[in-house]
Homo-oligomer: A and B are copies of this chain.
Amino acid sequence: MKPTVHDIARSAGVSLATVDRVLNGRPGVRSITRERVEEAISSLGYVRDVAAANLAKGRTYSFTFILPDNDNSFMIGLRDEVRLAMARSGAERVLIRTLTVPPFDAEALVAALETVLEEQPAGIAFVAVDAPSVRAMTQRLKEAGVAVVTLVSDLPGSARDHYAGIDNQAAGRTAAGLMGRFLDGKGGRVAVLAGSMLLRDHRERLEGFLSVLAEDYPKLAILPVMEARDDATLAGELVSSALARHPDIAGIYSLGAGNRGLIRALRDMKAERRPRVIAHELTSSARAALSEGLIDAVLNQDAGHEVRSALRVLKSKADGLSVIAAQERIRIDIFLKDNLP
């Protein structure tokens, strides 16, 4: 049978309270006693029953998610997933709070984190804005013993415990690998539609995309990046005018949001003139465009997975447990019309 605290107490000749003190690294135990207990723990091969511990502690994990109030489909979906997690969380002694902040606003994010810190939650997940002030704040959170997970957008080099999101460089490289093979034997120009170069994930995708094209497909000519600020109308205009100016555009990589405008521009073209198109995020309009054949491939990050993973990691960190790395890796899903879920 699995050994329990009782077995350890008996074997070490101490009381339950002392076992508990040693188990949880609490002070007030003579080192001789501590050693006796530790000896018993390891010789019996004790592993703590976390569920029982939490029950006894009457512990409810309180976690806060800070999400930008962006109104694009992806962020809406992300907020929905957090809401779903909140609904499920009751059964698992987890209390999730949500805070929304204006997007891309480091000051607002820092202010929100400050507020949350005062509530002393067990953990925080937030969509990072890449700024020194956010890094400094993250450091303070960690010093206060709060588990910190960045969600969707990372803060590399900061003190955060974990990043729940995709590798955007790899996503860009993958898009290039696909595009290069799609256009192999055809040639032509490649257009890139981005949201904003101020966004770290967009920059990283672009970087990955360009580096692979340059290295593996040098014959493909790349047009200057168009920035549509994740705005569908602007995206549509930019794409239409680029297509008008360069009739030899053979491929388009849309690495940001606002795909509805892109799709409209594509639909306006003659079918046989349409370029190969790779876009991000499987929104309902992207899904429709895939089925219709307007978009060839969609790279997707699963918001549900990201939220569940963030939660699992927060819980593990709050318990001081380790995570299963392979399980928490957020993958880049690639969808063609043929493998739509």
A153 nearest CB across to chain B (Å): 19
A176 in the interface (beta carbon within 8 A): yes
Q: How does the 8 Å CB contact mask read for A1-43 relative to B, with 1 for contact and 0 for none?
A: 0100000000000000000000000000000000000000000
Within 8 A of B (CB), among A169-217: 170-171, 173-174, 176-178, 181-182, 184-186, 208, 212
Query: A91 contacts which chain B residues (CB < 8 A)?
Result: 47-50
Decide if A173 touches B327 in the complex (CB within 8 Å). no
- Chain A residue total in the interface (Cβ 8 A): 48
A331 in the interface (beta carbon within 8 A): yes
Which of A51-59, A155-163, A262-270 binds B? A51-59
What CA separation (Å) do A187 and B108 show in the bound complex?
A: 55
Residue in A2, A90, A308, A339 with the greatest tally of chain B CB atoms within 10 Å: A339
Query: A280 contacts which chain B residues (CB < 8 A)?
Result: none
Decide if B47 touches A177 in the complex (CB within 8 Å). no
Decide if B338 touches A170 in the complex (CB within 8 Å). yes
A90 nearest CB across to chain B (Å): 6
Decide if B339 touches A173 in the complex (CB within 8 Å). yes
CB closest residue in chain B, given A300: B331
What CA separation (Å) do A337 and B308 show in the bound complex?
A: 28
Number of copies: 2
Query: A305 contacts which chain B residues (CB < 8 A)?
Result: 327
What CA separation (Å) do A322 and B51 show in the bound complex?
A: 20
Query: A51 contacts which chain B residues (CB < 8 A)?
Result: 51-52, 54-55, 92-93
Decide if B177 touches A337 in the complex (CB within 8 Å). yes
Query: A184 contacts which chain B residues (CB < 8 A)?
Result: 182, 186
Decide if A47 touches B90 in the complex (CB within 8 Å). yes
What CA separation (Å) do A338 and B332 show in the bound complex?
A: 11
Decide if A52 touches B55 in the complex (CB within 8 Å). yes
Decide if A174 touches B338 in the complex (CB within 8 Å). yes
A244 in the interface (beta carbon within 8 A): no
A334 in the interface (beta carbon within 8 A): yes
Query: A324 contacts which chain B residues (CB < 8 A)?
Result: 88, 308
CB closest residue in chain B, given A171: B339
Decide if A338 touches B276 in the complex (CB within 8 Å). no
Decide if B339 touches A332 in the complex (CB within 8 Å). yes
A57 nearest CB across to chain B (Å): 12
A308 nearest CB across to chain B (Å): 6
Q: How does the 8 Å CB contact mask read for A296-328 relative to B, with 1 for contact and 0 for none?
A: 100000101100100000000000000010110
10 A-B pairs within 8 Å (CB atoms) are namely A2-B90, A51-B51, A51-B92, A51-B93, A170-B339, A173-B339, A174-B336, A304-B326, A308-B327, A334-B334
13 other contacts beyond A174-B338, A185-B185, with CB at 8 A cut-off?
A47-B91, A48-B91, A51-B51, A51-B54, A51-B92, A167-B339, A170-B338, A171-B339, A173-B338, A178-B336, A184-B186, A212-B338, A308-B324
